[in-house]
């Protein structure tokens, strides 16, 4: 670590950000080539499959947005991409929940990982809204049925004033632009947090303090 | 179209057991997820020995 005392860049926010990143997120942590032995379990694969599913969701969604509802309802290739989008979302949620179960039962918020856990919780919540607006954006009878049935529930929460499920333009805009960007950014933040803190140790294998706790009290 | 889609183009059946009310497809998905989770815990990960062995080496 370089000593920056007396450095001309000492007051610069870009230099301060760079130093902070160098300290908290070195390249060895961001792109590691080795993992601790406890990562050798299928439970740790659930998160990676969730990310893989998200990649397919975004790619198939870009194609659907480019060609439009008539294409995805009436052409065979369009139906294929429609199904690809739908089923990759199903996999995204299935593996996100499996990932959640795995991390919950190993209490992955331990040893300073609460932000990682909370970003995961927010990602889950935003993903549900993204999926909901997707069901409303299908441009078929099911979408109308869901919107009509959901409007009273949404209104009862008080959110109906700025989140109108009957407004297709609003739902579609949220679904293809704002919510995918939010989910992607949150997932990136989540992964960066995991890289900064490392993968949590299994319960019973926590790092022992250098000084025993009973001696610290004296 | 060769495949008969009418089978899936109708409302799903429901399990109603006391206060529990869930469609069979949803219950099936949850069941498969529980099986996946159990398999992930049981099945050995390729290229890894037991955790006790690895800890001894570390």
What is the average per-residue pLDDT within A185-196? 94
- Is A101 in Cβ contact with B40 (below 8 Å)? no
- Is B45 in Cβ contact with A42 (below 8 Å)? yes
Q: What is the pLDDT of residue A32?
A: 80
Give the distance from residue B18's alpha carbon to the nearest chain A alpha carbon, in angstroms: 25
- Is A94 in Cβ contact with B37 (below 8 Å)? no
- Is B51 in Cβ contact with A37 (below 8 Å)? yes
- Is B48 in Cβ contact with A40 (below 8 Å)? yes
Helices A114-136, A179-197: axis angle to 10 degrees equals 160
Interface predicted TM-score (ipTM) of this complex, two decimals: 0.77
Q: Output A39 or A70, whichever has higher pLDDT.
A: A70
Q: Which sign does the torsion angle of CA A141, A142, A145, A150 carry?
A: negative
Q: What is the pLDDT of residues A27-39, one digit of tens each?
A: 877 888 877 888 8
Q: What is the pLDDT of residues A72-92, one digit of tens each?
A: 999 999 999 999 999 999 999
Is it the case that residue A105 has pLDDT exceeding 80? yes
In the CATH hierarchy, which top-level class contains the domain A107-198? mainly alpha
Give the distance from residue A187's alpha carbon to the nearest chain B alpha carbon, in angstroms: 22
> pLDDT > 90: what percent of chain A?
69
Interface probe, candidates B10, B11, B33, chain A, greatest A C-beta count within 10 A:
B33
Q: What is the pLDDT of residue A74?
A: 95
Helices A76-105, B24-42: axis angle to 10 degrees equals 60
Is it the case that residue A118 has pLDDT exceeding 80? yes
pTM, full prediction:
0.83
Give the distance from residue B31's alpha carbon to the nearest chain A alpha carbon, in angstroms: 11
Using 50 as the pLDDT threshold, list the residues of chain B that sit under it: none
Nearest CA in chain B to A142: B9
Burial of A170 (0-12, 13-18, 19+ CB in 10 A): middle
Q: What is the pLDDT of residue A156?
A: 94
What is the average per-residue pLDDT within A95-99? 97
């Amino acid at each position: 670590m370089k000593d920056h005392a007396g450095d001309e860049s000492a007051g610069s926010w870009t230099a301060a950000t760079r130093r902070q990143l160098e300290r908290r997120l070195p390249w060895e942590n961001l792109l590691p080539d080795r993992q601790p032995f406890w990562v050798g379990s299928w439970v740790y694969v659930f998160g990676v499959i969730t990310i893989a599913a998200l990649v397919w969701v975004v790619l198939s969604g870009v194609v659907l947005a480019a060609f439009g509802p008539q294409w995805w309802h009436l052409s065979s290739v369009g139906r294929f991409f429609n199904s690809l989008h739908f089923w990759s979302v199903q996999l995204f949620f299935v593996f996100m929940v499996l990932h959640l179960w795995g991390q919950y039962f190993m209490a992955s918020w331990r040893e300073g990982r609460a932000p990682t856990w909370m970003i995961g919780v927010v990602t889950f919540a935003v993903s549900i809204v993204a999926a909901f607006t997707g069901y409303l954006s299908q441009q078929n009878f099911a979408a109308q049925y869901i919107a009509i049935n959901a409007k009273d529930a949404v209104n009862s929460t008080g959110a109906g004033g700025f989140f109108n499920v009957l407004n297709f333009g609003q739902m579609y805009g949220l679904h293809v632009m704002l919510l995918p960007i939010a989910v992607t950014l949150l997932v990136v933040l989540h992964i960066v947090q995991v890289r900064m803190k490392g993968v949590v140790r299994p319960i019973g294998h926590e790092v022992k303090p250098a000084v025993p706790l009973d001696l610290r009290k004296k | 179209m060769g495949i008969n889609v009418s089978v899936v183009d109708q409302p799903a059946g429901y399990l109603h057991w006391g206060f529990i009310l869930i469609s069979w497809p949803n219950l099936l998905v949850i069941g498969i997820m529980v099986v996946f989770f159990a398999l992930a815990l049981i099945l050995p990960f390729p290229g890894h020995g037991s955790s006790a062995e690895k800890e001894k080496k570390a």
